[in-house]
Amino acid sequence: MARLMLDEEEPMSLYDFLRSRYYHDGFWELCRGELVAMSPAVSNHDFTSNQLSYLFKLSIGKYNMRCRVGGPNTAVMYQDNSYLLPDLFVSCDKSRVNEKGRYILGPELVVEVLSPATKSYCLSEKRDLYKDLGTDEYWVVDMEEKSVLVENFKAGYIARFYLNDVIKSFYNSNFDFNVKDVFEDILG
């Protein structure tokens, strides 16, 4: 993962980012004014993210919830210096979206699927920014460990779930999945 500060004294604004080549390249995030290069996902990353999206959509349909599941093409923007692209998110609160359909507050539940290049960033700066954005719960999917870390910021709840466990969401009790199901497409 590459970090790029264009001018050490002046962080990049969201306004400038949205008009830059970095925004149009599609593989950059802006975290508190600092550009962060995101590497393109490998197939297992996408398979895992897509499988989890499917599981969330099944629960939403089963319980008739009015929620949306979004992916990496939906940006979360914050104040004037951050632009994030979560791997996956669930949002049920329409007030978090502005008139242009952009998330201006953190979605209630955000999922990041770790990759070697972005692991440190996802576990530190990006996590902290989602917490500051008002995200209720942050899930971190670790493909190497075949585990899912669930951290509920509001309740102070944190737990790691492994292959033989059932993931329990503190944000919404209808979101409970077998960890094996999350990794179904890559376990074979």
Tens digits of per-residue pLDDT, 88-123? 999 999 888 888 777 878 899 999 999 888 899 999
The confidence score (pLDDT) of residue 5 equals 52
64 found inside a domain: yes
Contacts of 122 (CB under 8 A, 6+ apart): 112, 114, 140
65 found inside a domain: yes
CA distance 71 to 69: 7
Q: How far is CA 35 from the centre of its chain?
A: 17
Range of the domain at 104: 41-74+86-187
pTM of structure = 0.90
DSSP state of 103: B
CATH assignment at residue 171? 3.90.1570.10
User: Total domain count for the chain?
Assistant: 1
> Any bridge partners for residue 121, and if so which?
none
The confidence score (pLDDT) of residue 58 equals 96
10 found inside a domain: no
28 found inside a domain: no
CA distance 74 to 100: 12
CA distance 60 to 65: 5
Token readout for 120 is 């440190």
6 found inside a domain: no
CA-based torsion, 112, 49, 70, 139: positive or negative = negative
Q: Which residues of the chain have pLDDT under 50?
A: none
The confidence score (pLDDT) of residue 161 equals 98
19 found inside a domain: no
142 found inside a domain: yes
The confidence score (pLDDT) of residue 9 equals 63
30 found inside a domain: no
